[in-house]
Homo-oligomer: A and B are copies of this chain.
């Protein structure tokens, strides 16, 4: 690795002065400054003494590595620069402070009440959407299965079941094509479950288009089609995304897409408030999907919260409760039992009887074993899906191809299902309390039905419930084994298709199948069948293990599972199982969502800085030199800097006066690109204010009106005369940005950054002069690899 190549003009001088005066600490540290270019370079292992040089002319030996990013635009060793951070930290400029100080105590009370109203609305609308999806899917799937069932029954006698197969495959493909076209051509961000995207958003990364109305429309349409199309997917994951979009929309009191402004909730038009509401929306989504309001709150906190606030949590809980309640209420009306509120959630694990719920001490090792199996299978699933995703990124990036792949998967799913059912000879008697919706007789005797069909010829939600609750003996082990195997690969192939779909239900289904199999085998091996009598219990544990092995969620998933089961007795075993699955799975590969986040090269901040990163200081991680503005700056300079596409900075420290030789000035504020854009748009120039005294003073409202889609700098016309004007940034900049000295260790910088949800952190020297800027990318670059601390490369894509 090359050594220090170039010091920016003033930085060496600064170091000298620091040594000379009162920072002898610097002598001991082997800190090295470097300028950074984003053209790409390889991954460096950072030791205490390593120095990094990212300038291309010095790294010819890394040419081979350098060329890789061109092959694979998405790579988990890259960090994309196209993602911006959210401004979770309020810019407390003069306008803001004046507004806050003007506001009376009653004003704050009203705000607080409107926050509650917004959360209630979010919950209500999310519940409604869940209800809509559920009813439409049930009906479409019902029609489909009825048609196919009649067809099969018709041809079972006379032969020619291949026609049924074709009918089934065509119906499935038709649904899936519609869903896939919607996603691929109209809104690609609506693909998948949306959970990785929402995780990123809650982490503080702005994912373009993720919380737009159009995304919601496509998501809802897409998920209906893909579930009705019989893919191995669930409708639960997308609910989380839907809830988030609802929250982002409702809380702003307007729709930019529909160009409709209701003139309400204007105070909430900033990232701080919006992100809080989006957490509530995500929680409401989880809550509607699983009937798990507490689980929803924990999901939001686990994924999003940097700072836990009691009132916020309580509001999130309210949104969650509202959404479960709404869904529950409308479904109860739809099911003609109005007012019966004891069946919350899109998926319902059914009621576990008190008798079957009990477990014994000696079962705990068995559960832990199952957790390990779940971890292994989950890791396998993730690795396969990872390869598949890499393949997709390389070769299947055109929408047409994506639609064709989705169609293919739909047809194959139907074909596999049909073949399985066809060759299965597991016939079970039709009981009096028949829980099967579409019992297929096929080649079974009268009064019997094909047991394989209960698993395949059904919506996945119903199949899960059957596996949990059907009495012992409903399935034979071979059926379960074959089903697990085939569904595993189908689900793995399906996740990542260009359709809206979740991975929760397929995971649960796979797990429930092998869990039940496990339970049956256990009862067979141990002759004392009565103890291990209930295979449904093992199905539940298996489902938890598999899901935990794939998504690696912890506390929130435990609570979600417990709430969906409706019985807290299983808390301990589920927790143990999830913990084991996570530990075993993490040994091999990360969770599915994290894999997809990494493949998108999102600068995602984890909870803590890598353990061994105390050797790094702010000086080493910061970006420098920093582009600063003078407190009173020439318009031309501002326009030029904002227009510079090669840097594309978003936050600019403000100093009293930028000197010509780029000497660092004392920090006196921080201003954002978005604020400058608004100022330019309104032409807030010193000369104008002097000439036209009646000109309206810019208010916070003007910034809010432009939020969140600030126009690009190119669309703002600045004449040659105006370029010579001056702009006074004093009342618009944040006069008290958070700063750290340059000797601060990386974990300390990280903690401050993460706890306060910052976007820019100014690094200062001992005289309060700006020497660098730490942004999200500077912190997300470092991660613990197999060989110690590794650094990701930055890419413009």
In contact, A341 and B361 (Cβ under 8 angstroms): yes
Closest B residue to A312 by beta carbon equals B607
Could you tell me the distance between the alpha carbons of A306 and B339 in the complex, rounded to whole angstroms?
40
Name which of A240-248, A475-483, A564-572 contacts chain B: A564-572
Cβ < 8 Å to B, chain A residues 623-676: 631, 656, 666, 668
Report if A23 contacts B (CB, 8 A): yes
Select which of B310, B562, B756 is within 8 A of A554 by beta carbon.
B310
Q: Which of A305-357 contact B (CB under 8 A)?
A: 305-311, 313-314, 317-318, 321, 324-325, 329, 338-342, 351, 354, 357
Contacting pair B656 A22 (CB below 8 A) = yes
CB pair B311–A308 under 8 Å, yes or no, is no
Tell whether, in the assembled complex, residue A97 and residue B317 are in contact, meaning their CB atoms are under 8 Å apart. no
Q: Which 5 A-B residue pairings sit nearest by Cβ, starting from the closest?
A: A100-B614, A108-B611, A22-B656, A768-B768, A339-B361
Beyond A25-B730, A307-B751, A321-B575, 7 additional contacts (C-beta under 8 Å) are A22-B668, A306-B308, A308-B308, A341-B360, A342-B358, A566-B567, A751-B756
Q: How far is the CA of A565 from the CA of B407 in the complex (A)?
A: 48
> Of B21, B354, B735, B741, which one neighbours A656 at CB under 8 angstroms?
B21
Question: Please, which residues of chain B bring their CB within 8 A of the CB of A554?
Answer: 310, 314, 317
Give 23 CB contacts A-B under 8 Å: A25-B730, A48-B101, A92-B745, A97-B614, A97-B745, A103-B612, A293-B575, A294-B294, A294-B559, A297-B555, A308-B308, A310-B555, A313-B555, A321-B572, A341-B360, A342-B358, A342-B359, A562-B568, A736-B740, A736-B744, A752-B756, A764-B768, A767-B768
Please, what's the 1-or-0 string for A65-98, where 1 marks a CB less than 8 Å from any CB in chain B?
A: 0000000000000000000000000101010010
- The docked-state distance in angstroms from the alpha carbon of A310 to that of B97 is 34
Query: Which residues on B sit within 8 Å (CB–CB) of A313?
Result: 302, 555
CB of A755, distance to nearest CB on chain B (Å): 4
Q: Are A767 and B666 in contact (CB under 8 A)?
A: yes
Evaluate contact between A766 and B666: CB separation under 8 angstroms. Answer: yes
Collect the chain B residues with CB atoms within 8 Å of residue A576's CB.
321
Residue from the list B100, B555, B608, B735 in contact with A25, Cβ < 8 A: B735
**Nearest residue in B to A573 (C-beta to C-beta)?**
B341
With beta carbons under 8 angstroms apart, the residue of B354, B362, B767 that contacts A339 is B362
- Does A738 reach chain B (CB closer than 8 Å)? yes
Interface size grouping (class) on chain A: 35 or more
Q: Are A308 and B301 in contact (CB under 8 A)?
A: yes
Contact of A105 among B105, B311, B559, B611 (CB under 8 A): B611
Give the residues in chain B near A612, CB-CB below 8 Å: 103-105, 108
- Inter-chain contacts of A751 with B (CB < 8 A): 307, 756
- Expressed in whole angstroms, the Cα–Cα distance for A360 and B337 within the complex equals 10
Q: Is the CB of A607 within 8 A of B311?
A: yes
- Cβ of A125 within 8 Å of any chain B Cβ, yes or no, is no
Query: Which of chain A's residues 760-797 have a Cβ closer than 8 Å to chain B?
Result: 764, 766-768, 784, 788
CB-CB under 8 A for A784 and B105, given A566-B567, A579-B318, A767-B767:
yes
CA distance A324 to B311 in the complex (A): 29
* Residue A743 at the chain B interface, CB threshold 8 Å: yes
| A748 part of interface (Cβ distance < 8 Å) | yes
A23 near B736 with CB under 8 A, answer no
Chain B hits for A306, CB < 8 A: 307-308, 755
Point out residues on A near B: beta carbons under 8 Å. 21-25, 28, 48, 90, 92, 94, 97, 100-101, 103-105, 108, 293-294, 297, 301-302, 305-311, 313-314, 317-318, 321, 324-325, 329, 338-342, 351, 354, 357-362, 554-555, 558-559, 562-563, 566-569, 571-572, 575-576, 579, 607-608, 611-612, 614-615, 631, 656, 666, 668, 730, 735-736, 738-741, 743-745, 748, 751-752, 754-756, 764, 766-768, 784, 788
- Return chain B residues, CB-CB under 8 Å to A563: 568, 571
Chain B residues with Cβ below 8 Å from A25 are: 94, 730, 735
Contacts of A668 in B (CB 8 A): 22-23, 766
In the bound complex, what is the Cα–Cα distance between A756 and B338 (angstroms)? 49
State the Cβ distance, A568 to closest chain B Cβ, in Å: 5
Q: How far is the CB of A266 from chain B (nearest CB, A)?
A: 18
**Which residues on the B side are within 8 Å of A744 (C-beta)?**
92, 736
Given the complex of chains A and B, what is the CA–CA distance between A23 and B654 in angstroms? 12
This protein's copies in its complex = 2
Q: How far is A744 from B669 in the complex, measured between Cα atoms in Å? A: 11
| Shortest Cβ distance from A738 into B: residue | B752
* Chain B residues closer than 8 Å to A294, beta-carbon distance: 294, 555, 558-559, 562, 571
- A22-B631 in contact given A571-B321, A744-B736, A745-B92 (Cβ < 8 Å): yes
Smallest CB separation, A457 vs chain B (Å):
30
Across the interface, which residues of B come within 8 angstroms of A105, CB to CB?
611-612, 784, 788
Q: Which residues of B contact A756 (CB under 8 A)?
A: 751-752, 755
Q: Which residues of B contact A656 (CB under 8 A)?
A: 21-22
Nearest CB in chain B: distance from A201 CB, A: 17
Give A48's nearest chain B residue, CB to CB. B101
Instruction: State in angstroms the CA–CA spacing of A306 and B754 once bound together.
Output: 12
**Contact across chains for A614 and B101 when beta carbons are under 8 A apart:** yes
Complex alpha-carbon distance, A108 and B784, angstroms:
12
Question: Which residues does chain B contribute within 8 Å of A784, judged by CB atoms?
Answer: 105
Q: Once the chains are docked, how many angstroms separate the CA of A409 from the CA of B45?
A: 70
- With a cutoff of 8 Å between Cβ atoms, the chain B residues found around residue A297 in the complex are 555
A572 vs B340: C-alpha distance in the bound complex, in angstroms? Answer: 13
Q: A105–B752 Cα gap in the complex (Å)?
A: 23
Inside 8 A of A100's CB, which chain B residues have their CB?
614, 745
Chain B residues in 8 Å Cβ range of A745? 92, 97, 100, 736
Query: Given the complex, which residues of B lie within 8 Å of A308, measured CB to CB?
Result: 301, 305-308
Cβ–Cβ contact A309 & B97, under 8 A: no
Nearest B residue to A108 via CB reads: B611
> How far apart sit A767 and B668, CA to CA, in the bound complex (Å)?
10
Tell me the minimal C-beta distance from A575 to chain B in angstroms.
5
Among B314, B354, B572, B666, point to the contact of A341 (Cβ < 8 A).
B572
Determine which of B22, B97, B361 lies in contact with A338 in the assembled complex, contact meaning CB atoms within 8 Å.
B361
CA A572 – CA B342 in complex, angstroms? 10
Is B555's CB under 8 angstroms from A317's CB?
yes
B309 touches A608 (CB 8 A): yes
* Chain B residues closer than 8 Å to A103, beta-carbon distance: 612
Q: How far is the CA of A305 from the CA of B755 in the complex (A)?
A: 12
Which chain B residue lies CB-closest to A311?
B607
Nearest B residue to A294 via CB reads B559
Which of B341, B575, B615, B741 is A101 in contact with, Cβ under 8 Å?
Answer: B615
A360 to B325, CA, bound (A): 12
Given the complex of chains A and B, what is the CA–CA distance between A302 and B310 in angstroms? 6
How long is the Cα–Cα vector from A185 to B146 in the complex, in angstroms? 79
CB-CB under 8 A from A614, the residues of chain B are 97, 100-101
Instruction: Name the contact of A666 in the complex, choosing from B22, B94, B568 (C-beta under 8 A).
Output: B22
> In the complex, which residues of chain B have a beta carbon less than 8 angstroms from the beta carbon of A608?
309, 311
